Structure 1
Amino acid sequence: MNALLMIAITTGVLSGLWGWLAFSFSLISWAGFLGCTVYFACPQGGLRGLLLSLCSCGSGVFWAMIMIHVGPLAPQFLGYAITGIVAFLMCIQAKLRWLGFIPGTFIGACATFAGDGHWQLVSASLLVGLLLGYAMKNSGLWLAAYFSR
């Protein structure tokens, strides 16, 4: 059976479930979809990819909160420099094994900015989205393997 078709089916079903979960638990639906995106885009798969995605995305939330709280304390021109320094740190941290997925870091930061710095809500939404992304891809791969027997 075609793996892409099976992933598309499981993604469709679980996306509908996410819409209901996000509404029911007052989570941010778009942030959850960003979490799914982080997992799907991660070069690693399986649990290792989930952990790499989680650590990188979580660090992005952390860096965004640094910018949100430190930036306004500085004069405007220095605020730009702080943004540059933090962006540098967001990239260089990829030397650390579990923070090596730079796009995940930037997605976590962008979600935090878009969520007006409500890091707890953004983090919960991203986390559920990461777990759903893991479930979407891996259940689709499992179904493809199962029906290919």
Structure 2
Amino acid sequence: MSQLIAISLTTGILSGIWGWIAISFGLLSWAGFLGCTSYFASPTDGAKGLAKSLLTNLSGVVWALVIIHGSSLINMEIAGYIMTALVSFCMCIQAKRAWLGYIPGTFIGACATFAADGNWQLVVPSLVLGGLFGYAMKSSGLWLHANLGQRDAQLLKQ
């Protein structure tokens, strides 16, 4: 079994489980899939990639709240645009810190927060659990591939 097939198989199974968990606990299934996607797209693998994607996702939630609440302080439409410009700059420049160096992860967290109308209490657990599921999808697929590969190699020797 190829690595792609193994990861596809475990991702399919765990995606179904995530969907059930999200609905059962009133979480945002789509936000969880954003957290999962953030991990899969992270330039770093393993626990370090998970940590970086989760940290940047959560920083994006905070930045979105800054935009939402900051732009409401001034009763002018242009204030929201100015706030968005300034905060977007900050969302990118924070990547100077290695542990916040995954800019797409930051924007994923912000977009999820905007899509949920600022309901960070629902976005945060959905993103975090989604990221954990993404990690489980990939690591279990890699495990499956490695173990089936060893078994296939042993069968060929016989």
TM-score range, shorter chain: over 0.9
Give the structure 1 partner of residue 60 of structure 2.
60
The CA distance in 1 between the partners of 2:47 and 2:97, in whole Å, is 18
SS in 1 for 2:4: helix
Residue 21 of structure 1: how far off its partner (Å):
0.1
State the 4+ residue runs in structure 1 displaced beyond 6 angstroms: none
Matched residues, percent identical? 60
**What do the CA deviations read for 1:17-55 (whole angstroms, capped 9, x no partner)?**
011100110000000000100000000000000000011
Amino acid aligned to 1:14 = L
TM-score by length of 1: 0.98
The CA distance in 1 between the partners of 2:125 and 2:117, in whole Å, is 15
| Unpaired runs of at least 5, structure 1 | none
SS in 2 for 1:148: helix
Amino acid aligned to 1:77 = I
Give the structure 2 partner of residue 9 of structure 1.
9
| Number of positions where the alignment pairs a residue of Structure 1 with one of Structure 2 | 149
Give the structure 2 partner of residue 119 of structure 1.
120
Amino acid aligned to 1:120 = Q
The CA distance in 2 between the partners of 1:147 and 1:54, in whole Å, is 30
Indicate the larger mover: 17-26 or 76-85. 76-85
Q: How does 1:1-149 map to 2 (within 5 A)?
A: 1-74=1-74, 75-149=76-150
| Unpaired runs of at least 5, structure 2 | 151-158
- Root-mean-square deviation (CA, aligned residues, Å) is 0.7
